[in-house]
Amino acid sequence: MVILENFRKFKEEYGKEAFKRINEFFQKEEEIFYKNKIKELMETRNLSKREATIKARQSWVATIGRNLEKIFEIMIVDFCEENNLYITNDRILKRNNLPRDLDLVKRAILVDFGNYSLLPDGDLIIYKKNKDFPEIIAILSIKNSFRERYTETPYWKLKLLQSDITKHIKVMMITPDRDNEVSFINPPRKARIILEYELDGIYLAKKKFDKSKKVKSISKLIEDLRKLI
């Protein structure tokens, strides 16, 4: 909650440009987080500074992931409300006793594996409620960095393409690309090649990168979502 409140203040200062300065924002937040977390762990759990630093690093990875999702939800929520669209995520859809509308969303994106059906990874799932069955507009995957995990989202895109029921679903990536795995093309890294080839769009929350028809600024996300409705 503290990080989200800080981002809202950051957004008040920089406006829409705030989403292109995510790395700058999180760099400051990371320094504060580490300082406070290491101190807390050393005092409450009697850990050495080295042990506390390792634990703090692990905790930060989870913290930044959750907060990135919330930050980009903030970015699209007004657009969704204006166009009668709804947002959910795969964690919610994994719960038991879902309300009818979310249960139908879950069924609309399930991937068949013979005797089993699985939910694709979806940090933000945008859908439209219809009388009988929801229309899935897009599945957005959000990653701070990749570290050899760049094949996960393309895998789900390929699985969705195998069914007539799910093949229309757009799968997009949003990332600050902290480690420059997809930002540049001289030469392109594996992550850029695979993501650009398989996904419907990659939106970079940063200022400097090599653009293409699929690799775009985060400022283009709403414009592209509008084309899907």
Q: Other C-beta atoms within 10 Å of 175: how many?
A: 27
* Mean pLDDT of the chain, nearest integer: 94
Inform me whether the pLDDT recorded for 213 exceeds 80.
yes
pLDDT, tens digit, 9 for 90 and up, residues 71-93: 999 999 999 999 999 999 999 99
Instruction: Please classify residue 108 by burial: count the beta carbons closer than 10 Å to its beta carbon, then call 0-12 exposed, 13-18 middle and 19+ buried.
Output: middle
Question: Once rounded to an integer, what is the mean pLDDT over residues 42-67?
Answer: 91
Among 196, 183, 226, 156, residue whose Cα is nearest residue 23: 183
Between 180 and 132, whose confidence is greater? Answer: 180
How much is the pLDDT for 16? 87
pLDDT single digits (tens) 118-159: 999 999 999 999 988 999 999 999 999 887 689 999 999 999
pTM metric for this prediction: 0.92
Q: Three-class SS of residue 126?
A: strand
Q: What is the pLDDT of residue 147?
A: 74
The answer to whether residue 1 scores a pLDDT higher than 80 is: no
Distance CA 68, CA 189 (A): 23
Start-end of H helices in 15-144: 22-44, 49-82, 90-93, 100-109
Per-residue model confidence (pLDDT) at position 145:
85
199 CB neighbour count, 10 Å cutoff: 19
DSSP 8-state code for residue 119: P
Residue type at 26? F
Binned at pLDDT 50, 70 and 90, residue 61 comes out as: confident
The number of helix segments (H) and strand segments (E) in the chain equals 8, 8
pLDDT at 131 (0 to 100): 83
Q: Confidence band (pLDDT; 50, 70, 90) for 7?
A: very high
List, for residues 183-192, the tens digit of each pLDDT value.
Answer: 999 999 999 9
More confident residue, 46 or 202: 202
pLDDT score of 65 more than 90: no
Nearest to 171 by CA among 159, 188, 189: 159
* 56 φ/ψ angles, rounded to the nearest 5 degrees: -65, -40
pLDDT (mean) for 44-63: 91
DSSP state of 188: B
